[in-house]
Amino acid sequence: MHKKGIMRQAGPLLVARGAATVLGFGLPLLLVRLLDQTSFGVYKQVWLVATSAFLMLQMGLTASLYYFLPRRDGNGAAYLTQSLASVTVFGALGAFGVYLARFALARHFNTPELAGYAVPMALLAFTLTATTPLEPALLARGQVKLSAATNFVSEIVRVVASIIPLLLGYGLKGFFWAYVAHGVLRCIACVVLLIQTGGPRIDWKLFRGQLAYALPFGAAILFETPQRSLHLWAVGGTVGAAAFAIYSQGCFQIPIVNLLYSPISDVLQVRLNEPGGRGHAVHLFHDANLRLAVILLPFTACMVAAGSLFIPALFTHQYDASIPIFRVAVLSAIMSSLPIDATLRALGQTRYMFNAFFWRLLATAAFVLAGLHFFGMLGAISGHLIAEGVVRTAMLDRIRRELGSKWRDMLPWAELRHVAIASLAACVPVVVIARYAYSGVLAFHPGTGTPVDRLKRMLFGAHDEPLTVAAPEPVPARAA
């Protein structure tokens, strides 16, 4: 068993992804300032379609590398070749499907101009899918630093290449074509990696075993991806591009979540599949859970408290209506402190994941559609989180039973309790700053009455002219 702790082994990945995140985090901040709200909404729609496609089209072949390559049995070239070839074929088929569905997508999102982005949208879906094995293959072979460096360089090229067309006045089409060019470079990198590992090589017997592992998980992803994005598709079908921009920014994924979760869960999966890893499974799960929780719990609490300052600071006051949505959506970070999916994959529970993801999709559809109908956009994201929490609890129970553990031993309860209490305590000054310090400054700005009068109104009542942003009205229902 590897002697390094999970956090230490994942260190290079965290550093590289952290540096790349600094660049990637700035991209939407620039876009909301370079694009009007409708154009930004179109960008979010194209990105939703492309990313939904590439997540489903992998069919578990990329994730299977974490299961097979750590064995170091001399068959790495075959597993990598089979993964790359499969996702390339699936990516091509998916891209063709996206192009054929361009007018249907435009009608669904109430955005006719979306059809004009069909070609780059389809190619983006293809390149995203075909190049997914690049960093996972390096990581699963133990080349953690090279995987981290590849991820970092790729992000630099992506961000810089995509923003230049906007600055030069080529608009969204230039922006997306730059994304496609970045994907082509990643395709070339995949070919180089394949040659260096001794490929291409296909072993049909090994391929059948790889498919037996991957396809149940891939089929589960066919349920998981729509489940995760269903609330976006549901809201997108009832509002226009500008309102969709507001909702999608409220559901803004804070980079720190993926920055921490992905490398730690990836390393956890590799460690569980190393010789002797299963015997320390509960300890490894505790380690990963606590490493994530000690950052994500206080982070989530502070984001809820400071949402009224965070959203306008990042996305300008155009997106003030996103604040209540953001305060609900950010609660999903708490669930990310449990590396459930990675653990189930490492335990070979892909068939169970298929069933769990199917029921989670049904539960999410019921809660999201009901929430959207009765409570609007805020109800949609709330329904998504309720369904997610219920099913993830059931999945954690499955892990507990597979490891032969009891609930009192499954999680580091005492440590988690201390982290939760400290997180809530840390929010007190954040609430004071967000509610009173900022408003106190406003109280001394010119207005009706003396500064003392304005300070009293700030403490005990509303401002003279409170800043409110009405939630956007849904577009009229389409005629049958």
Q: Is the Cβ–Cβ distance between 391 and 223 less than 8 Å?
A: no
Cis amide linkage into residue 324, ω under 30° from 0? no
CB-count burial class (<10 Å; 0-12, 13-18, 19+) for 24? middle
- Confirm if 128 and 51 have CB atoms less than 8 A apart: yes
Q: Is the dihedral of CA 289, 294, 299, 300 positive or negative?
A: positive
Q: Are the CB atoms for 349 and 332 separated by under 8 Å?
A: no
Cα radius of gyration (the chain): 23
Per-residue pLDDT of the chain (480 residues; tens, 9 = 90+): 455 555 565 666 667 666 777 777 777 888 888 888 888 999 999 999 999 998 889 888 888 888 887 766 678 788 899 999 999 999 999 999 999 999 999 999 999 999 999 999 999 999 999 999 988 888 877 777 788 888 888 888 888 888 889 888 888 889 999 999 999 999 999 999 888 888 788 888 899 988 988 887 788 788 888 898 999 999 999 988 889 999 998 998 777 787 788 778 888 888 887 777 677 788 888 888 998 999 999 999 988 888 888 888 888 888 889 999 999 999 999 998 999 988 988 888 878 888 888 899 999 999 999 999 999 999 999 999 999 999 999 999 999 998 888 898 899 899 999 999 998 888 888 777 766 655 544 444 445 555 556 445 444 444 444 344 444 444 444 443
**In the prediction, which pLDDT does 9 show?**
59
Cα angle 174, 24, 361 (rounded to 5 degrees) comes to 95
CA distance 415 to 268: 20
- What pLDDT sits at residue 145? 79
CA distances, 97 to each of 111, 229, 386 (Å): 19, 19, 32
Determine how many CB atoms are found less than 10 A away from the CB of residue 393.
12
**Predicted model pTM:** 0.75
Residue 80 phi/psi, 5-degree rounding, is -70, -45
